[in-house]
Structure formats: structure tokens, C-alpha cells
Amino acid sequence: MDKKQRSPKKQFIIETAARLFRDKGYRATSMRDLADAVDLKASSLYSHIKSKEELLRDICFENAHRFVNSMEAIEQEYNEPLDQLKALVALHITIALQDPTSITSFNDEWQHLSEPFLSEFLSLRKDYEKRFQQIIDAGKAKGVIKNLPTNMIFYTLLSSLRWIYDWYKPERNQDTTDIVEHLQEIILGGIVK
């Protein structure tokens, strides 16, 4: 379900669940924890959601579709692989800055999805990773990316972006444009010719 179609209460529950999953882990978070955090009785919570896994599915699939849809937009907007790569790195940074709680749950807790959702999620993830690596390969073929192993470049890029979720604190009032530009330069500096 799209964020825009949710009731404000359900959106609040999902955001709170994402925070609890990040802080305690999916398995360690109980429905009672969630009910207490949103100031509802456990029985009332079920009038808004079906299960804890429904919340995890919403978080994981909403983010998976956000990345896939953004990848499609980037591929359409930019023709050059280096521009696409810069836009993808900026995308990851921007999402980490705007929605660190949800993204942390998305990155760390997806393995708790049950079938058929786990396979569907992994399919979306693998498609995204494959397309990302194809952009790296295209950059290598054009001579703008160093001829290093594609999978090493890809996983190093993503690993280099994961710490942002823990580091960035909105209350610091940092200019996010500067953060994006500085991190792009640092992260891409090792692979761009």
C-alpha cells in the first residue's frame, strides 16, 4: 500500500515499527512493545494491522519499490554511466538522510520475511543489484570507471553508504546538499578515472 493511501494512524504505526525494528531487531520486538510505543492496547493495534510481519513487508517492499522506481527514473534521465552512477549514489545518500529508520529495517531485517514474500523481495533486490552492476560495467567499457572487479566496486559502494544511517542526525541541521556532494566525491573518487 502506498503511503498516501494509508491512514495517518497506520503510517505512524509503520514508522514506529521501523524504529523498534532498528533499535531492538525484528525478532525481539513484540506486538506489546509496538502497542505501548503507539499508545494503544494490543487488541486495538490489530484493528490497524494484521501482524508484525505485515509491517515488515510494508517497510521492505515500500523501500524496494522506491529504489527500483528511482533506478528506472535515473536510467531514463541520464545516458552516461558515470552520471547514472553519481545519481544512484546520491539516491542512496538522500534516502539514508531522509528515512534512516525505515532504511535500516529494510537493510537489516528483510531476512525475516516468510515465503512467498521473501522470494519476491529477493527478486526485486537482485534485479536492482544487477542493473546497478550493469551501469558500473558500462562505465568500465567507456573508460570512465577503473577496470576493477564489478562486484567489488558495487559492494564497496553500498557498504560505504550504510554507515550514513547511523551517523546522520537531523537535529545537527547539516546541509544535506553538502553531505551528498562530499560523500559522492569520497565514495566515487576511488573508482572514477
Query: Considering the domain boundaries, does residue 37 fall inside one?
Result: no
Listed in sequence order, the DSSP H helices in 78-144 are: 81-98, 100-109, 117-141
pLDDT means over runs of 10, the chain (193 residues):
76 94 94 95 90 95 95 97 96 88 86 97 96 98 97 93 77 79 89 90
Cell 556532494 found at: 181
Query: Considering the domain boundaries, does residue 6 fall inside one?
Result: no
pLDDT score, position 33: 96
Residue 65 belongs to a domain with what CATH number? Answer: 1.10.357.10
Which residues, other chains included, contact 180 with Cβ-Cβ below 8 Å and sequence gap of 6+? 90, 93, 94, 97
Domain residues for the domain of 78 are 53-188
Query: Considering the domain boundaries, does residue 3 fall inside one?
Result: no
Cell 533506478 found at: 71
CA distances from 152 to 6, 49, 87, 165, 180 (A): 39, 40, 19, 22, 22
pLDDT score, position 169: 72
pLDDT score, position 1: 53
Query: Considering the domain boundaries, does residue 20 fall inside one?
Result: no
pLDDT score, position 121: 96
Query: Considering the domain boundaries, does residue 32 fall inside one?
Result: no
C-beta separation of 176 from 94 below 8 A:
yes
Name the 3-class secondary structure at 177: helix
Query: Considering the domain boundaries, does residue 66 fall inside one?
Result: yes
Which residues, other chains included, contact 74 with Cβ-Cβ below 8 Å and sequence gap of 6+? 84, 87, 88, 91
Cα gap 40→43, rounded to integer Å: 8
pLDDT score, position 28: 97
Cα gap 102→183, rounded to integer Å: 21
Number of domains in the chain: 1
pLDDT score, position 3: 63
